[in-house]
Amino acid sequence: MVNYNKQNLPDATLVGLGLDANDGHKRVTKGDKFVVCGGSEETHDKLVETSIKVHEKLDAKGKRLSELSKNEFIDIVSEASQ
């Protein structure tokens, strides 16, 4: 068993899933630290934008996704999605 501390946690990937597509398009966008799948064009674009903003906020705080508590994650995603 591997023991991790906050400095050597494996990095996490943010996954966005849109469920409102009804136009037959298959949308997948991959970034360095996120993947967004599905959704209408509007929803997919919003998920991509939010994912990018989440990682910009993490970079500004000098943190990685894998280092966040549940509450920190919720706060950052809430800020990024507005």
Half-sphere exposure of 70 (CA within 13 A, CB side): 0
Query: Helix 41-61 and helix 70-80: axis angle, to 10°?
Result: 120
Q: What is the pLDDT of residue 5?
A: 59
- Cα separation of the two ends of the chain: 40
Q: What pTM, to 2 d.p., does this model score?
A: 0.84
* 25 CA to centre of own chain: 22
User: Token pair for residue 26?
Assistant: 């298959």
pLDDT in tens, the chain (82 residues): 555 555 665 689 999 999 999 999 999 999 999 999 999 999 999 999 999 999 999 999 999 999 999 999 999 999 999 9
pLDDT at residue number 11: 81
pLDDT score for 8: 62
The strands making up 34-38's β-sheet, listed across from edge to edge, are 14-18, 34-38, 28-30
